[in-house]
């Protein structure tokens, strides 16, 4: 849940007092079905960010807490997810892009996606409390300072690779995304952050973060007020 907190914290900082959050943790596949079905429409919220994280098989099957593997594409396809023109779906899991193999996935969402890894890649966890194998505090001081300030003393310093990519891209951003094009630019920069880490820090800890855009343009973003 550390990466979920990072994403929520950065959005709160960009849009102070203007966000509503819904969190589901360790639920059943039926609960996830209900969660997806209840996602907001454009009339209810002008920006919808959905963060999905779990253990996953190379076939795109989601590991629920009942030790039962179920295909997330099928759950999404059966959930009648409300359409939204400015929705970004973040999939933080090993083999995340495996969903792209199933046409049900895209048709169920009609959204833009940020995948933490290619269909044949596992993802890794980074530790900001240890200088090994990468001294993240030295290499990424702005991201480290933000995390230390916003994650609290109870945080153990561990973060998914995608969480690192998100916060590093956030702290190096020059402005707040104010349109769908602005969010596209931010998510493409997430791709670049991942590539730079692979090239300059540690290839073994990096995965291929991939942005897949919904083909629409210029939709303004104004967060729903509570």
Give mean pLDDT, residues 38-54.
90
Residue 187 belongs to a domain: yes
Residue 223 belongs to a domain: no
Residue 220 belongs to a domain: no
Kindly report the pTM of this predicted structure: 0.90
**Residue 109 exposed, middle or buried by CB count within 10 Å (0-12, 13-18, 19+):** buried
- Name the residue among 193, 130, 146 with its Cα closest to residue 165: 193
Residue 134 belongs to a domain: yes
Residue 218 belongs to a domain: no
Interval 12-31: pLDDT, tens: 999 887 777 888 887 888 99
Helix (H, G, I), strand (E, B) or coil at 143: helix
* Residue 183 structural domain: 2-212
First-to-last alpha carbon distance for the chain, in angstroms, is 23
Q: Which domain CATH number covers 189?
A: 3.40.50
- Name every residue whose Cβ is closer than 8 Å to that of residue 140 and which is 6 or more positions away in sequence: 164, 168
Residue 153 belongs to a domain: yes
The neighbour count for residue 52, using CB atoms within 10 Å, is: 21
Domain count, the chain: 1
pLDDT at 128: 96
pLDDT above 90: percentage of residues in the chain:
64
Helix (H, G, I), strand (E, B) or coil at 211: strand
Q: State the DSSP code for 111.
A: S
Residue 222 belongs to a domain: no
- Name the residue among 28, 25, 47 with its Cα closest to residue 182: 47
Give mean pLDDT, residues 167-180.
93
pLDDT above 70: percentage of residues in the chain:
93
Residue 217 belongs to a domain: no
Interval 92-103: pLDDT, tens: 999 999 998 888
């Amino acid at each position: 849940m550390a990466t979920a907190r990072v994403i929520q914290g950065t959005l709160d900082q960009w849009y102070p007092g203007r966000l509503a959050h819904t969190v589901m943790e360790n639920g059943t596949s039926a609960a996830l079905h209900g969660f997806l079905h209840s996602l907001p429409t454009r009339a209810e919220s002008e920006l919808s960010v959905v963060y999905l994280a779990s253990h996953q098989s190379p076939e795109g099957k989601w590991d629920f807490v009942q030790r039962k593997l179920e295909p997330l594409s099928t759950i999404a396809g059966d959930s009648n997810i409300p359409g939204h023109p400015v929705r970004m779906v973040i999939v933080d899991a090993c083999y995340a892009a495996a969903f792209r193999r199933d046409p049900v996935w895209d048709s169920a969402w009609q959204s833009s996606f940020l995948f933490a890894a290619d269909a044949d890649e596992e993802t890794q966890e980074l530790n900001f409390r240890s200088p090994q194998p990468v001294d993240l505090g030295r290499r990424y001081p702005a991201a480290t300072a933000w995390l230390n300030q916003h994650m609290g003393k109870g945080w153990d310093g561990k973060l998914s690779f995608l969480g690192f990519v998100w916060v590093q891209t956030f702290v190096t951003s020059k402005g707040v995304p104010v349109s769908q094009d602005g969010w596209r630019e931010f998510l493409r920069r997430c791709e670049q952050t991942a590539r730079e880490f692979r090239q300059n820090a540690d290839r073994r800890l990096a995965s291929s973060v991939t942005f897949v855009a919904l083909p629409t343009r210029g939709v303004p973003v104004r967060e729903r007020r509570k």
